[in-house]
Amino acid sequence: MQGGSTGIGYGLKYQARCIADVKADTDHTSFIAGTLSLKEENEVHLIRLSNGGTELVCEGLFSHPNEIWDLASCPFDQRIFSTVFFNGESYGAAIWQIPELYGQLNSPQLERIAALDAHSSKIKGKHDKLISIDEQNLFLWSLDSSKKTAQVQSQESAGVLHYLTGGAWDPHDVNSVTLTSESAIQLWDLRTMKMNNTIEQVHARNVDYDAKKSNILVTAEDESGIRIWDLRMLKAPITELPGHAHWTWTVKSNPEYDGLILSAGTDSSVSLWQAPTQSSEDISPESLLESLTKRVDPLLNSYNDYEDSVYGLAWSSREPLIFASLSYDGRVVVESVKPHLSKK
């Protein structure tokens, strides 16, 4: 199904790629976004959906020294987030804290809790631990926000032949992470800091775990669109979706509803999918016959009312039928997927 945007819009001042759900804010549906301007002072926007759900309100606007290439919100403290940034010559990363009285200050300044040296790519965090990657290395950090320090707990190289590009932390297993490289997907165990499995000849731009079902991984790939994998048997994906007309840039699994997936790409669109996440071993002959008979289109809706590539996607943890998208021109759109779920 094709459809335009019926969502609620909000404009950032500059171009942008990064938006995240503020999971720790259990009282509001909140998102945090960062801009990507090389010449201007960049900004971090704390955005909340109004109580009536009719408008997006800027709850905080903060200066950030460099262009923001990655942003993640702390899952247990709504005032803490991380950024990966570029100053025109090199990448860096830091953990920031929003000032407690930011709503009452004229020009609130972010407080830098810790700098993550020797780092240049993605950051994921759980409790007092962080993982980060650069082109060839995986780092496990220990964060002490009270002392404003971050120490490398362990570090391991992925090898000179692997150029790491991103990753995801398994929500079902604190010791498991998945990393993406130019030509493979790597499964790592943080206890040993060793790679224990790999999916070769896969160029994934983004990966995400199914939050409700363990061992399920969703990938956004250049040539194959969207694929869903059972990590217990990696010879072939269990489901393939067509993806986007151009690069499929990012995928996000819904935090509450199994098989509900968002994808976005450089074709200036967002797609909503309902995909089966069961492997053939888990499907009974009756349900397999039923699925073959029905042949349901997995595409629930396509949102096409964008004027630029869409790089940022975030489901709301508080209201899991709501998501935010961010296109490169700095436009944030918040949508509800509820109208499309009864169509299949």
Q: What is the pLDDT of residues 130-161, one digit of tens each?
A: 888 888 889 998 887 776 778 888 999 887 66
Between 201 and 117, the higher pLDDT residue: 201
Please report the pLDDT score of residue 127 as a whole number: 61
The chain-wide mean pLDDT, for the chain, equals 86
pLDDT for res 183:
84
- Check residue 2 and give its pLDDT: 47
- pLDDT in the model for residue 153: 87
> What is the pLDDT at residue 13?
93
Question: Comparing C-alpha atoms, which of 211, 144, 202, 147 is closest to residue 173?
Answer: 211
For residue 211, the one-letter residue type is: A
Q: pLDDT tens, 239-251?
A: 999 877 777 889 9
pLDDT in tens, 38-81: 888 899 999 999 998 899 999 999 999 899 999 999 988 999 99
Range list of H helices, 180-334: 285-294
Residue 273: partners with Cβ closer than 8 Å, 6 or more residues away: 226, 241, 259, 260, 261, 262, 263, 298, 299, 300
> Helix H segments across the chain?
285-294, 338-341
Q: How many Å apart are CA 305 and CA 286, to the nearest integer?
A: 40
Asked if pLDDT for residue 1 goes beyond 70, the answer is: no
Task: Name the percent of the chain lying above pLDDT 90.
Answer: 56
CATH superfamily of 8-157+314-335: YVTN repeat-like/Quinoprotein amine dehydrogenase (2.130.10.10)
Higher model confidence: residue 313 or residue 92? 313
Query: Which carries the bigger pLDDT value, residue 328 or residue 3?
Result: 328
| pLDDT cut 70: percent of the chain above it | 86
- Closest among 135, 196, 204 to 168, alpha carbons compared: 204
The CATH fold assigned to 160-267+269-305 is Methylamine Dehydrogenase; Chain H (2.130.10)
Res. 119: pLDDT tops 60: no
Enumerate the β-bridge partners of residue 167: 179
User: What's the count of helices (H) and strands (E) in the chain, helices before strands?
Assistant: 2, 29
**Could you tell me the residue ranges of all domains in the chain?**
8-157+314-335, 160-267+269-305
pLDDT tens-digit readout, 292-320: 445 578 999 999 889 999 999 999 999 99
CA angle 213/214/219 to nearest 5° reads: 85
Q: Do domains 8-157+314-335 and 160-267+269-305 have the same CATH topology?
A: yes
Q: Largest alpha-carbon pair distance within the chain? A: 64
Average pLDDT, integer, range 100-122: 72
Give residue 169's pLDDT. 93
| One-letter amino acid of 96 | W
Q: What is the pLDDT of residue 164?
A: 86
pLDDT tens, residue by residue, 187-237: 999 999 999 999 988 888 899 999 999 999 999 987 668 999 999 999 999
